Amino acid sequence: MTKHQSLLDTSNKLFAILTKELYVNTVYIARRDEKVMTVINARNEDRTIVTPSMQVSYDDSNCRYVHESSSGTQSFKNLMTDPETKNRPITEQLQVKTFLGVTIQRMNGVPFGTLCIMDPEEKTFTDDQVAFVESFAYVLSYMIELDETIHDLELISVPIMPLTPELAILALQGNINDRRANKIMEDTLHYASEKRIHHFVIDLSEMLHTEQSSVDLLKRLVSALRLMGVRVILSGIPVSLAKDSTTIELLNKLDVDYVSRLESALPRLGFEITKVGPQS
């Protein structure tokens, strides 16, 4: 899944509506970076004008006029004859006339990019049509917020806690679907290799067993860590796992140690838990 999957899925539906309702050839979203505009999704009807991953420098792009407009909206009836745009390289490259762009902002007001419309023929948009496009840009801003929130959560969804240079704890929590299982697998193996971990305690006490992905993850993760020479201990088997006969059969085949609580795992690895009193 890409970082902006919800944005892509939603924009595909909105693009179909816009091309039909406004009788235009091309609709696209361009993300604004420091020096370039990058197309992250596009729809073309009869003629391919803009494609995903297409990049244009910010200064050379038509999106620049949108971002520099006080209203956050800019349109040109004919890019090829307008004094402002007719001699620009992008105009020569694309060979289109109509352009309408509106700013897409994140919910905190920071610009994300532009929602743009192009057509090879001259078109004039009414105020209602411009407002229609602006409303779609507002919807897309919500999708960006959703995607970036999900992305931020995924960054912390693999809670690995180092205890010593050779020992770490992986606390699996909540539901684990296929996408999250793949991330946990990737991040844990990378961490074990990079940090040269010898012992991994995988705590399952807060994991919810609602999908087969959680069981498959344990099998793959433990097997991979053992192949890397890492000793694995599972702690805190939740009731939802313990009462599932298929899961218990699998766990019994993993050839790892089990402890009921996380504190019980450390002595098995030769670590002692010492209570530290108040400093005098």
Under the banding of pLDDT at 50, 70 and 90, the label for residue 158 is confident
Nearest CA-CA partner of 168 in 202, 194, 218:
202
> Are residues 19 and 43 in contact, defined by beta-carbon separation less than 8 angstroms?
yes
Can you give the pLDDT at residue 145? Answer: 85
Tell me which of 152-156, 170-174, 186-190 is least confident: 152-156
Cα-Cα-Cα-Cα torsion 205, 206, 211, 212, nearest 10 degrees, comes to: -30
Identify the helix (H) or strand (E) that includes residue 202.
strand 199-207
Pairing, β 111-119 against β 160-164:
unpaired
The confidence score (pLDDT) of residue 1 equals 45
pLDDT at 133: 96
26 beta partners? 44, 118
Ramachandran quadrant class, 31 (left: phi over 0; alpha: psi -120 to 50; beta: rest): beta
Residue owning tokens 């971990």 = 197
Greater pLDDT, 209 or 200 = 200
Tens of pLDDT along 70-79? 999 999 999 9
Measure the N-to-C terminal CA separation of the chain; round to a whole number of Å: 54
Number of H helices, E strands in the chain: 9, 11
| pLDDT tens digits, one per residue of 95-109 | 999 999 999 998 888
**pLDDT beyond 80 at 144:** yes
User: Do strands 36-44 and 55-57 pair parallel, antiparallel, or not at all (unpaired)?
Assistant: antiparallel
Confidence grade of residue 278 (pLDDT, cut at 50, 70, 90)? low
Of 156 and 48, the one with more pLDDT: 48
For residue 6, the model assigns a pLDDT of 84
Q: Counting beta carbons within 10 angstroms of the beta carbon of residue 146, is it exposed (0 to 12), middle (13 to 18) or buried (19 or more)?
A: middle
pLDDT on residue 250: 77
pLDDT at residue number 243: 75
For 10-39, how does the pLDDT look when each residue is reduced to its tens digit (9 = 90+)? 999 999 999 999 999 999 999 998 899 999
Check residue 174 and give its pLDDT. 73
